[in-house]
Amino acid sequence: MLDENGFKKKTYAELIEEMEAKAREGFGETINLSPRSFLGILIRLYAWFLAIVWQVIEKVYNNSFPGTAEGVSLDRAVRFKGISRNLEEYAYGKVKIRGTPGATIETGFIVGTKNNIYFETTEDAVLDEIGEAIVEIYAEEKGTQGNVAAGEITEILYPDPEVVFEVINLEPTAGGTDRETDTALYTRYQSYPPNKGSSDLEGIQAELLEVPGVRDAIVSQNTSMVEKDGIPPKSIAPFVFGGTDLDVAKAIFGRKSGGIQSFGSTVVEVLDSKNIKHYIGFTRPEIIQIYVRVALTKKANFPSDGIEIVRSQILNYIGGESESGTEYPGLGLKQNVIINQIVWSIIELNIVDDVTVELSTDGVTYASGNITVLDGKVAKTSFDKVVVS
């Protein structure tokens, strides 16, 4: 139940006790409710399924609060304070290359450690008169495994002994991070002050999330002096889902630091207080259209509008427009479509015995597996793409 003290789920034992009391009220105190009686067995069957529903309701309630939310729900909850989960980042550093004087080492030259952690050079380099050059490198894969000690990068993936004799990192590489855990994210949330007025990534994201119509926003950056992941040097790259172009551009301009480029495929002209023009770039996400095919094993209590109820559950999870024109927010940027989430959203309605769900991105090839949504993309569906039978 939900009252001023919060939510408290009913347990399996409590549900049996309540249903037994109701049965005695309707059939008399002498009714046989033992675990082996027909009515006793029926009560326990219903109590078992209802206990699952109460567990789902408790999870939905808990996911409304940062202290008890998990996964994507926690990501959404902490954004009200302007925080987002720290994702994987590439490690970076420098290596000294020794070889034939005057030789050119092209961008993308691959070096690594003895345990197969590889790095690429980020710029062309020409070996000096003594055959040496210091070159910046980035790890090929994101994560802390790219943070290696000095002297560990000694291997060349495709060696040419006549050009390069030796490679070594004189200093440790740094900057590689793993995806932040729920526990670490909530701990940071507890100690993090409101982000009003800050111009860091989280402050810009917080500002964007307050723009009318914006459903999600992620701001990436490149702090290096070379292009990385398609982002120019010393730039931010906002991805914004929803809101008008002008409102989004004004929000970015009002928060970003001076001298930092806001990069993206959409560029909007913004005037400052002196009527000087500034060009603010950001990127709209690529929409991945999701087709859903659902087969139901219906219970006896399946309502006449049950198909529409099920379709609404799916639209509410993924996001999209209903037949009546209602727009469901659904998933945000880079959030995968999880097939079990769809199944449970239907099971919790308690009007079906079984559910089979298949997903497709083209409406032709369907599979009973999750759909991965990459950077800069968002999943979306609509009533006509959700077929329920």
Share of the chain above pLDDT 70, in %: 97
The confidence score (pLDDT) of residue 330 equals 83
Domain assignments of the chain as residue spans, ordered by start: 10-62, 92-168, 195-284, 287-388
Lowest mean pLDDT among 86-100, 115-129, 220-234: 220-234
288 token code pair: 């991945």
Give the tokens for residue 154.
């000694």
pLDDT (tens digit per residue) in 234-248: 898 898 988 899 999
Fold topology of 195-284: GMP Synthetase; Chain A, domain 3 (3.30.300)
pLDDT of 216 reads 82
182-191 and 71-78 are packed helices; what angle lies between their axes, rounded to 10 degrees? 20
For 233-278, the DSSP string reads TTEEEEEEEES-HHHHHHHHHHHSPTT-EE--SEEEEEE-TT--EE
pLDDT digits (tens, 9 = 90+) for 298-351: 998 888 888 988 998 898 889 888 887 777 778 888 888 988 889 888 888 889
Q: How far apart are CA 374 and CA 241, in angstroms?
A: 14
Position 272 confidence tier, pLDDT thresholds 50, 70, 90:
confident
Place of tokens 């490690």: 91
Q: Which residues neighbour 47 within 8 Å (Cβ) at sequence distance 6 or greater?
A: 12, 15, 16, 19
Q: What is the DSSP letter of 132?
A: E
Tell me the per-residue pLDDT of 49-100, one tens digit each, with 9 for 90 and over: 998 988 888 878 777 777 778 887 888 777 766 677 877 888 889 999 999 9
Res 129: pLDDT: 92
Overall average pLDDT of the 210-237 stretch: 83
Q: Which amino acid is at 208?
A: L
Query: How would residue 101 be classed by pLDDT, with cut points 50, 70 and 90?
Result: very high
- Residue 56 · residue 181 · CB < 8 Å: no
Across the chain, mean pLDDT equals: 86
pLDDT of 274 reads 84
Q: Tell me the backbone φ, ψ of residue 170, rounded to 5 degrees.
A: -75, -20
Torsion angles phi and psi, residue 76, rounded to 5 = -70, -40
Burial (Cβ within 10 Å: 0-12, 13-18, ≥19) of residue 341: middle
pLDDT of residue 362: 92
Output phi, psi for 49, to 5 deg: -70, -40
CA distance to 332, 338, 357, 386, 387, per residue, from 365 (Å)? 24, 17, 13, 14, 14
Spatial distance between the Cα atoms of 220 and 199, rounded to a whole number of angstroms: 13
pTM of this prediction exceeds 0.95: no
The burial of 134, by beta-carbon neighbours within 10 Å (0-12 exposed, 13-18 middle, 19 or more buried), is given as exposed
Query: Residue 197: is its pLDDT beyond 50?
Result: no
